[in-house]
Amino acid sequence: MHYRLLGQTGIEVSIVAMGTWAIADSFTWGKQDEDDARAAIEVALEVGINFFDTAEGYGAGRSEELLGEALAPHRREVVIASKVSQHNLNRAAVREACEASLRRLQTDYIDLYQIHWASRETPLAETWEALAELKAAGKIRAIGVSNFGLQDLTEALAAGPVTSNQVPYNLLWRAIEHTIQPKCVAHGVGILAYSPLMQSLLTGKFASADEVPETRARTRLFSTARPHTRHGEAGQEAAAFAAIDAVRNISREVGASMAEVALAWVAHQPGVASVLAGARNPAQVRQNSAAAGLTLAPDVIEALNRATDPLKQALGPNPDMWLSESRYR
C-alpha cells in the first residue's frame, strides 16, 4: 500500500480507502451479508488500508456500527472519516450527531469529520463554529466538507482550514475537473474521490445499461425512464457504455483488471488524497487495494482521458450525480 497526506493535516492515509456506504444500504446495493462486511474490513487492514469512510446517514448508523466493532481493536492504527448529515448542521445538532457517531464507532475521536452536503438553512459559520469546538475538545481531529462547489468552498475556506472535499470522481464522472478540482489544488484541500468505480459500472460487470439493476440506475447517466431517477434528463447510456468498452480494451492492454485501472486513474489525478473505493467482501478489497501499486504510463492516462472525454462534455460541469438542478453551489 502507498500513503498520502490528508490535506494539510500531517495524517497519512492509504491511497485506496474503504468506503462503507454499500455495506449498510440494501435498497441501493442489494442484501449485504454482514459477515462479509466484517471480513472485508479485516482484509482491508491486512493489505494496509488505514482509511475508512462512513457517515451517520449510511444505513441510519449501521455502517458506523459495523466499522466501530471491527476497528475497535485497531483504533490507533486507523483513520476514520465520518459525516454529519445536511439536516444536522445547526450548533446543537452537530454536537449531538457527533456524540452519536462516536458511540456507534466505539471511539472517543473521529479523525476527519465532514459536512455531508452543505445546508441551505443553517449558515456555514454556525456549523463551522460547532465543528471547531468539537476539534478543540479533541472529539474530531480535522474538518472536511463533501459535495462543496466553488461558492461553498470559498465560504468554508474563509471559516477555517478545510482539510478535504469529498466529491464524485471517476472515469465516467469527471465534472469536478471543470472548476472544483483546480480550486482544491490551489488551496491545498485534499480531494477524496467518491464512487470511483461509478457505483460498480467501471468493474465491467454489466455489458449494457439494460443489465444494470433499477436501484443502481439512479444517476444522470441513466434515462429518466428508469424508475428511481430523480432528474429529467435523457441520460447518457450509449456514451457511458461506449466509454466502458474503451476502458475494458485499455485495461486489457495494460494487463490489469478494469477496477484496478479505473481506481489507479483516479489516484493519478491532481489533488487526489485518497480514492474511496466501496467494497462489500474480501475479494473486492484485495482487488481494489492492488490499484494503489499500479502506475499508469502517461500515454495510457491520455487514452483513458480521450475515451471518456465525449461523456464528460455531454454531462457538463454539474457534479451532482443524481439531480439536474445541481445541489452544488
Q: What are phi and psi of 321, to 5 degrees?
A: -70, -25
Helices in 87-223 by DSSP H: which ranges?
Answer: 91-104, 124-136, 150-159, 180-187
Q: Which of 199, 229 has the CB closer to ligand NAP?
A: 199
Ordered alpha helix ranges (H), the chain? 26-29, 34-46, 62-71, 91-104, 124-136, 150-159, 180-187, 237-254, 258-267, 282-290, 298-315
User: Nearest residue to ligand NAP, using CB?
Assistant: 19
308: left (phi over 0), alpha (psi -120 to 50) or beta: alpha
Among 6, 11, 15, 22, binds ligand NAP (CB under 6 A): 22
Q: Catalytic pick from 3, 58, 113, 169?
A: 58
- Decide: is 203 part of the binding site for ligand NAP (CB under 6 A): yes
User: Which is nearer to ligand NAP, 41 or 259 (by Cβ)?
Assistant: 259
What is the full DSSP assignment across 31-44? ---HHHHHHHHHHH
Of 103 and 205, the one with the shorter C-beta distance to ligand NAP is 205
Stretch that binds ligand NAP, among 14-22, 96-104, 233-241, 295-303 (CB under 6 A): 14-22
- x-or-dash string of contact with ligand NAP, 140-179, rule CB under 6 A: ------xx------------------x-------------
Cα 140–146–147 angle (5° rounding)?
165
Other beta carbons within 10 Å of 230: 12
Rounded-to-integer distance, Cα 104 and Cα 41, Å: 16
Residue (137 or 147) nearer to ligand NAP, CB: 147
Active site residue 58: yes
| Stretch in the footprint of ligand NAP (CB under 6 A) among 87-95, 122-130, 235-243, 272-280 | 272-280
The set of residues, in sequence order, having a beta carbon less than 8 Å from that of 190 and lying 6+ positions away, is 4, 5, 6, 7, 144, 163, 164, 165, 184, 271, 272, 273, 274
Of the ranges 20-28, 86-94, 101-109, 233-241, which one interacts with ligand NAP (CB under 6 A)? 20-28
Q: Minimum Å distance from CB 136 to ligand NAP?
A: 25
Q: Which residues are known catalytic residues?
A: 58
Chain residues in the site for ligand NAP (CB under 6 A): 19-22, 29-30, 53, 116, 146-147, 166, 194-200, 203, 205, 259, 276-280, 284, 287-288
